[in-house]
Chains A and B, each alone.
Chain A
Amino acid sequence: MSAEVGQFALILALLLALVQSVAPLVGATRRDGVLMAVGRQAALLQGGFVILAFGCLAYAYVTCDFSTALVARHSHTTQPLAYRIAATWGSHEGSMLLWVLILAIYGAGVAFFGGTLRETLQARVLGVQGILGAAFLSFLLFTSNPFLRLSPAPIEGTELNPLLQDPGLVLHPPLLYLGYVGFSVAFCFAVAALIEGRVDAAWARWVRPWVLAAWIPLTAGITLGSAWAYYELGWGGWWFWDPVENASLMPWLLGTALLHSALVLERRGALVSWTILLAILTFSLSLVGTFLVRSGILTSVHAFAVDPERGVYILGIIAVTTGVSLGLYGWRAPAIRTGALFQPLSREGGITLNNLFLTALTATVFLGTFSPVFIEMVNGDKISVGPPYYARTFGPLAVPLMALVVFGPMLNWKRDEVRKTLARLRIPLIVAGAVLLVALPFGGLKGVATAGGLALAAWLIVGSVAVLGRRWWSGRAYLARSIRTTPRSIWGLALAHAGLGLLTLGVTGVSSWETDKVLNMRPGETVEFAGRVLTLRSLEMVQGPNYEARRATFVVKGRGPEYELRSERRFHPSAQSQTTEAGIRVGPLGNLYVSVGEESADGVIVRLWNHPLIVWIWIGGFVMSLGGLVSLSDRRLRVGAAVKQAQPLAQPVPAE
């Protein structure tokens, strides 16, 4: 029953999306208030029906309704409840439904909260959002229907891929999708602005919180995905430059650029058409991120069904959304008034440079991800690029960007002076220099990179604190008062930039001092590794809810009290596949990572890794995300969006 209700709800949502994609656009052109109101209602109703459809699918999963084909393929009665719920978005169809769900909720959000926007702008935004909704709903219904029935219904289903049965993976896709789809709002605003031919203060104030709201979950989602790959795949790495990882990194990089350029637009009215272009490209890359791995153009360890029909449809959607919006950009953007001028050495200048680097980094990842496709087109060779490519291209671009990060917030708007800027930065400069000098004498050529990485991390962290310090010790007010009155957006900025510093610290630590060892161990045997003594205490078979496992228990001595580590090799009979649960001792100074492999003639193959400082990579990622959250909660952003009058863009102050 629930499958039919869900199916009807989706069909109704598609019809409403079609109404939403026509009525408000026509209404805005004719200044017809009724048609524009129809658009708002359609967006709200569409949201309701998609929520209903998603609820129906989740219900079918929870109740193990194996007469629904999708449920039979990805669920099993022994699968724990949390993973039965998570299986709702664990398949291609289900994850597409989640995508559409978030899109529809955002659309309803613009309809519900957007009353303060100029009516024609809101109508156009909703119209563009309606077109996107209609495209994806029809993709879902015609090529990936999640509600197909299966007759006769099987008694038992096939399990969800055991690798995906993990707490991290329950949250990872929804977070990424919140990010990807969140950029659709910025995209819709950009296209609406191009149709209107004007960009005003209300536009900029609206777009920035939405970009931030997309950036926060995307950052958290990528971090979570990296942590998941670390502990679940059993390879002991944290980033593999896999096409799917790259696909989430590209919108993140451009989205970060957009976040900063939107700030310039909001505060100073500059970088207008560049911000619009970034908004279009960021969402286009989000589309690429969601779909390219499903279209069969690239292959990846994250396997989704490859289906040429879906591929054509997906490429069609990308072609139309990106093609039309970029065409519109080429046609209308030259007419949009460009904003204030600024000196090269100014906060605007710093952010422009930041944007250049971030765009170049995106291009690097893009080329690395797609060069196999291009090269095959040219000469038929099949090649692939691995981490060596990224080490040579991504690193050299990322390092200057990180060095630049600290300058931005210390620069004044409009124009600044070199000497004054350096004076403001003296403490971070001194600390980073000291770290460099202390670390440099250790090690050879690799030591230089390590010392540089540590100095960069110190520079970023101290530089972020200095942003707060500059505000607090600038004289006039009492310290307690200036701490209390520091806007949350400044706290957010400091947190996000410091998070980047922590990430740098982690990356430096693990790439400089990582060690590993593979050996054959028998129960009772002892091995010395990375200053610790490990004993394989027992090797036994254990029974899990839906798997059986060989569990190795180790006792670790050295560096503090002794503790136990367990690593399992799990076999899931209904999915006929194996997974490895690594035993990980997490610590601020480093992780000890133990993973059991194949059984050998006498004992078991054991892999040991020592990962110094690695945990800071993920702490850094989450701190960045937290910084975004703190910034989003700033009063100015909330109040700013509520400014009713359509004023012209904050009058640009001429640069003297």
Chain B
Amino acid sequence: MKRVLFILPVLGFVILLAVFFAGLGRDPRALPSAFVGKTLPAFTAPPVRPGDVGLSNTDFQAGEPALLNVFASWCGPCRVEHPVLMRLRREGVPIHGLDWKEDAAAGAQWLTDNGDPYIRAGSDPTGRTGIEFGVAGVPETFVIDKHGKVRYRHVGAVTPDVWETKLRPLMEKLRSES
């Protein structure tokens, strides 16, 4: 019996190793884009800002392309992209927000303190809504077209560079689509 105890570490390690080898082939930045090209799954997220209406998939079928930005107050890179989002909002780009894995109160506080770039902001305290469309971490930004279809997914902060080279051209193209 005692011997078994001493063999446990090596057994555990072998299992761990198998998982690592299986995980080796994949590129951690190549995230599944299963939803690109598909309509947003149906969801309703309660409001972040008290007394607000929250966010649901129907908000994205307004005949205009929009951005869906997944954020959290505990997320460092979100602070980096936040000024960019504020600027886009001033320029009239429609952005909706999903506050991921935290209490709505924390998200609301964050928006009050730092400024609020979102038209609609939904709260996702358990991360379940985010899982629906495959959020891997924050920040992530989806480009949704006029018909509520996901057209692009950007993982990481939206820097001025990302906006100029990737998101803006796509948004312009989507706007001209019928």
Q: Which residues of A does B touch, CB under 8 Å? A: 233-237, 240, 273, 277, 280-281, 295-299, 301, 306, 308, 311-312, 315, 318-319, 322-323, 326-327, 329-330, 333-334, 372-374, 376-377, 380-384, 386-388, 516-518, 597-598, 600, 605, 607
Asked whether, in the complex, the Cβ of B28 is within 8 Å of the Cβ of A330, the reply is no
Find residues 7-22 in chain B having any chain A CB closer than 8 Å to their own CB. 7-10, 13-14, 17, 19-22
Contact of A308 among B10, B24, B86, B113 (CB under 8 A): B24
Chain A neighbourhood of B31, CB < 8 A: 382
Which of A308, A327, A386 is B137 in contact with, Cβ under 8 Å? A386
Q: Return 15 A-B CB contacts under 8 Å, by A number.
A: A235-B80, A273-B6, A296-B24, A296-B28, A301-B77, A306-B28, A308-B25, A311-B24, A315-B17, A322-B13, A323-B13, A330-B6, A330-B8, A386-B74, A605-B86
Closest 8 CB pairs of A and B: A384-B137, A299-B28, A326-B10, A330-B7, A382-B136, A235-B76, A387-B74, A597-B83
Tell whether B37 is near chain A: CB-to-CB under 8 Å.
no
Seed contacts A382-B134, A598-B84; 20 additional CB < 8 Å A-B pairs: A298-B28, A299-B28, A301-B77, A306-B27, A315-B20, A326-B13, A329-B10, A334-B2, A380-B32, A383-B127, A384-B137, A386-B72, A386-B75, A386-B137, A516-B114, A518-B114, A518-B115, A598-B83, A598-B87, A607-B79
Complex CA distance for A233 and B19, rounded to whole angstroms: 33
Identity of the chain A residue whose Cβ is nearest the Cβ of B136 in the assembled complex: A382
Query: B160 near A: Cβ within 8 Å?
Result: yes
Give the most central of A235, A308, A326: most B CB within 10 Å: A326
A517 to B114, CA, bound (A): 6
B9 and A297: CB pair below 8 A?
no
Q: Which residues of A contact B79 (CB under 8 A)?
A: 235-236, 607
- Checking B9, B114, B127 against A329 with a beta-carbon cut-off of 8 angstroms, the contacting residue is B9
Across the interface, name the chain A residue whose C-beta is closest to B7.
Answer: A330
Q: Cβ of B64: which chain A residues have Cβ within 8 Å of it?
A: none
A580 CB, nearest partner CB in chain B, Å = 9
Beta-carbon contact of B24 and A315 below 8 Å: yes
Whether B19 pairs with A377 at a CB distance below 8 angstroms is yes
**A319 close to B17 (CB less than 8 A):** yes
B113 to chain A, nearest CB (A): 6
> What residues of chain B lie closer than 8 Å to A281, measured between beta carbons?
9
Q: Nearest chain A CB to B79's CB is how many angstroms away?
A: 5
- With A298-B28, A323-B14 as given contacts, are A373 and B23 in contact (CB-CB < 8 Å)? yes
Complex CA distance for A5 and B89, rounded to whole angstroms: 58
- In the complex, chain A residues whose CB is within 8 Å of the CB of B82: 518
**Which among B23, B76, B137 is the interface contact of A237 at CB below 8 angstroms?**
B76
Residue pair A518, B76 in contact (C-beta under 8 Å): no
Q: Report B52-72 CB contacts with A as 1/0, cut-off 8 Å.
A: 000000000000000000001
Contact with A along B82-108 (1 / 0, CB 8 A): 111011000000000000011000000
> Which A residues touch B27, using CB under 8 A?
296, 306
When A388-B102, A518-B114 are in contact, do A297 and B83 touch as well, CB less than 8 Å? no
Query: What's the Cα separation between A383 and B28 when bound, in Å?
Result: 11
Contacts of A315 in B (CB 8 A): 17, 20-21, 24
A237 to B21, CA, bound (A): 34
Contact between chains at A323 and B17 (CB < 8 Å): yes
Per the CB 8 Å criterion, the residue count for chain B at the interface is 47
Q: Measured between alpha carbons, how far is A237 from B82 in the docked complex, in Å?
A: 16
Question: When chains A and B are docked, how far (Å) is the Cα of A322 from the Cα of B16?
Answer: 11
Whole-angstrom distance from the CB of B157 to the nearest CB of chain A? 10
Nearest residue in B to A376 (C-beta to C-beta)?
A: B23
Across the interface, which residues of B come within 8 angstroms of A235, CB to CB?
Answer: 76, 79-80
In the complex where A237-B76, A299-B28 touch, is A374 in contact with B19 (Cβ < 8 A)? yes
Query: B114 to chain A: which residues have CB within 8 Å?
Result: 516, 518
Q: Do the beta carbons of A299 and B29 come within 8 Å of each other?
A: yes
Chain B 156-176 against A: per-residue CB contact (8 Å), 1 yes, 0 no? 000010000000000000000
Q: In the assembly, what is the distance between CA of A233 and CA of B80, in Å?
A: 10
Complex Cα distance, B26 from A277, in Å, reads: 32
Q: Quick one: closest B residue to A387, CB to CB? A: B74
Structural contact, B24 and A518, CB atoms closer than 8 A:
no
With a cutoff of 8 Å between Cβ atoms, the chain B residues found around residue A334 in the complex are: 2-3, 6
Q: Does B131 lie at the interface of the complex (its beta carbon under 8 Å from any beta carbon of A)?
A: yes
Which of chain A's residues has its CB closest to B138's CB?
A386
Which B residues touch A322, using CB under 8 A? 13
**B10 and A240 form a contact (CB under 8 A):** no
Residues in B with CB closer than 8 Å to A600 are 87
Residue on B nearest A601 in the bound complex, by CB: B90
Complex Cα spacing A121 to B72, Å: 54
Contact of A373 among B8, B20, B75, B76 (CB under 8 A): B20
Closest to B17 in A: A319
- How far is B83's CA from A8's CA once the two chains are assembled, in angstroms? 52
Complex: A323 Cα to B10 Cα, angstroms: 6
Contacts of A377 in B (CB 8 A): 19, 22-23
CB distance from B86 to the nearest CB of A (A): 8
Is the Cβ of B76 less than 8 Å from the Cβ of A233?
Answer: yes
Looking at the assembled complex, report how far the CB atom of B102 sits from the nearest CB atom of chain A, in whole angstroms: 6
* Alpha-carbon distance between A235 and B14 when the two chains are bound, in angstroms: 39
Q: Which residues of B contact A295 (CB under 8 A)?
A: 24
A383 engages B75 (CB within 8 Å) = no
Interfacial chain A residues near B72, Cβ < 8 Å: 386
Closest to B19 in A: A377
- In the assembly, what is the distance between CA of A326 and CA of B8, in Å? 9
Contacts of B21 in A (CB 8 A): 315
B23 touches A297 (CB 8 A): yes
Write out the residue numbers on chain A whose beta carbons fall within 8 Å of the beta carbon of B25.
308
The distance in angstroms between the C-alpha atoms of A167 and B113, with both chains bound, is 33
Nearest B residue to A378 via CB reads: B19
Determine the distance from Cα of A517 to Cα of B115 in the docked complex, in whole angstroms: 9
A369 to chain B, nearest CB (A): 12
Residue of A nearest to B22 (CB): A377
- A293 (CB) vs chain B CBs: closest residue: B28
Task: For residue B99, give the distance in angstroms from its CB to the closest CB of chain A.
Answer: 12
Across the interface, which residues of B come within 8 angstroms of A516, CB to CB? 113-114
Given A306-B27, A381-B131: A517 and B83 interface contact (C-beta under 8 Å): no
Flag if A330 contacts B19 (CB, 8 Å).
no
Which residues of chain B in 110-162 are interfacial with respect to chain A, using CB atoms and an 8 Å cutoff?
A: 113-115, 127, 131, 134, 136-138, 160
Return the chain A residue nearest B101 by Cβ. Answer: A388
| Residue in A closest to B26 when the chains form the complex, CB atoms | A296
Closest-by-CB residue of B relative to A372 is B136
- By a CB distance below 8 angstroms, the chain A residues around B80 are 234-235
Contact A383 B136 (CB under 8 A): yes
Task: For the complex, give the distance between the alpha carbons of A607 and B110 in Å.
Answer: 13
- Asked whether A330 lies within 8 Å of B9 as measured between CB atoms, the reply is yes
Complex Cα–Cα for A372 and B138 (A): 14
- CB nearest to A388 among chain B residues: B101
CB distance from A414 to the nearest CB of B (A): 24
Quote the shortest CB–CB distance from A350 to chain B (angstroms).
23
By a CB distance below 8 angstroms, the chain A residues around B102 are 388
What is the CA–CA distance of A428 and B8 in the complex, to the nearest angstrom? 41
How far does the alpha carbon of A236 sit from the alpha carbon of B114 in the complex, in Å?
Answer: 14
- B24 contact from A280, A297, A299, A384, Cβ within 8 A: A297
